[in-house]
Amino acid sequence: LSERRKVLIAYDSSSSGDYALQWAFDGLIQDGNDHVVLVTAVEQSQPLIRFNFNKGEDEIRTEIQKVSLLSVRYEAIQAVHETLASLFRKRDISCQSFILEGDARDVILEVADKTRADCIVMGARGLNAVHRAVLGSASLFITQEAQVPVVVVK
């Protein structure tokens, strides 16, 4: 019995992420033969909980609201992953789900390495030239750094 091919799908709930997921689901992933590794990176610029007791009540309330929003966002992503995993299972496609904090470039490459993915599928967000120069393109970075084939769906 041969091992299933591991297809890592980087999913960020953007329109390009949706398109990449649909493309992989419809045209790449084979029923009964593949294993999907679903990855979403949650970029976090501030710690989840950070209270400064020198702040006023309104500022502390704002910090609590930030924590609540992050929690809601994580739960929403988790619900999407569970729905997608259920769709894959209906097609006899096994699925692992990762929702990790960090820069998408690092998270995707780390999960690809740890799970020994055979390929990576991701969307092209279509950054304009200024954003690309300042932020860098995750898809470009991953195509250059990944040790496995990368499909960038546009």
Taking the domain 5-153, which CATH number applies?
Answer: 3.40.50.620
Integer distance in angstroms from the first to the last C-alpha of the chain? 35
CA distance 21 to 123: 8
Q: List, for residues 132-152, the tens digit of each pLDDT value.
A: 554 458 898 999 999 999 999
Of 150 and 57, the structure prediction assigns the larger pLDDT to 150
Selected residue with higher pLDDT from 94 and 65:
94
**Strand 94-101 relative to strand 34-42, pairing:** parallel
Q: Which residues of 12-51 are buried (b: 16+ CB within 10 A; e: fewer)?
A: beeebbeebbebbbeebbeeeebbbbbbbbeeeeeeeeee
Give domain limits for the chain. Answer: 5-153
Helical packing angle, 138-145 and 104-115, nearest 10°: 30
Residue 43 has pLDDT above 90, yes or no: no
Per-residue model confidence (pLDDT) at position 49:
45
- pLDDT tens digit sequence for 24-41: 999 999 999 999 999 999
What is the tens place of the pLDDT at every residue in 83-103?
A: 999 999 999 999 999 999 899
Mean pLDDT of 109-117: 98
Residue with the larger pLDDT of the pair 60 and 146:
146
At residue 48 the predicted structure's pLDDT band, cuts being 50, 70 and 90, is very low
The pLDDT of residue 64: 59
